[in-house]
A and B are shown apart, each in its own frame.
Chain A
Amino acid sequence: GDSVTQMEGPVTLSEEAFLTINCTYTATGYPSLFWYVQYPGEGLQLLLKATKADDKGSNKGFEATYRKETTSFHLEKGSVQVSDSAVYFCALSDHTGRRALTFGSGTRLQVQP
Chain B
Amino acid sequence: DVKVTQSSRYLVKRTGEKVFLECVQDMDHENMFWYRQDPGLGLRLIYFSYDVKMKEKGDIPEGYSVSREKKERFSLILESASTNQTSMYLCASSKSGTGKNYGYTFGSGTRLTVV
Contact = CB atoms under 8 A, between A and B. Distances in A.
Interface of A: 6, 31-32, 34, 36, 41-46, 49, 51, 89, 91, 93-95, 99-101, 103-106
5 contacts: A32-B100, A93-B99, A93-B101, A99-B99, A100-B33
A31 B100 CA distance: 8
A104 B44 CA distance: 9
B103 A94 contact: no
Contacts of A31: 100
B42 A105 contact: yes
B100 A43 contact: no
B45 A100 contact: yes
A99 B90 contact: no
B107 to A, nearest CB: 5
Interface residues of B, number: 28
Q: Considering the complex of A and B, which 10 residue pairs feature the smallest CB-CB distances, nearest first?
A: A105-B42, A93-B100, A43-B106, A103-B43, A44-B106, A46-B103, A43-B108, A103-B42, A32-B100, A100-B45
A106 B40 CA distance: 7
B2 interface: no
A100 to B, nearest CB: 5
A100 B48 contact: yes
Nearest to A46: B103
A49 B42 contact: no
Contacts of A45: 106
Given A43-B107, A43-B109, A106-B42, A99 B101 contact: no
Contacts of B64: none
A8 B42 CA distance: 11
Nearest to A103: B43
A105 B50 contact: no
Contact of A99 (B35, B48, B106, B108): B48
